Structure 1
């Protein structure tokens, strides 16, 4: 299943710089691991906000939850998930090729 995942990072403003940097590095590493595993397909930044939009693929919602909860910044993320289904027009386009 594919999922559109929107996250907004709510890490407190008073978080020490050294902690913030450590978390960012760990987050990048874990996102790379999720990408290598085929779970994270695409990732976009939202300009002007500490937010991302990602295209994820997981066997089911529980597997997606586990993938997102494995992120080091998980406890500070506001997460919105939309399950995606292939549009009939896309299925027809795939049959034409």
Structure 2
């Protein structure tokens, strides 16, 4: 199989919005202008990362900065209104709820 997504993602509107975590604060998912995919913004001085579709509701992005871990997964559960960021989830703290 190629490197493209196995199952297509849902419409961008299923994922876009603001999510919060009591530990990490705010995470924002936005559509790129012109329908060019999604971005994820995270942190008190938000860093913005382009999301790459992987499989259905799972995306990935390349971390940057002093705490970079390489490529990490982001899994949405639109029905539950949550998103889990893999590299923040070592202590089960990486799930954000849509607000």
What's the TM-score, normalizing by structure 1?
0.27
> Where is the strand percentage greater, Structure 1 or Structure 2?
2
Greater relative contact order (CA < 8 Å, ≥ 6 in sequence): 1
What's the TM-score, normalizing by structure 2?
0.26
Tell which structure's C-alpha radius of gyration is larger: 1
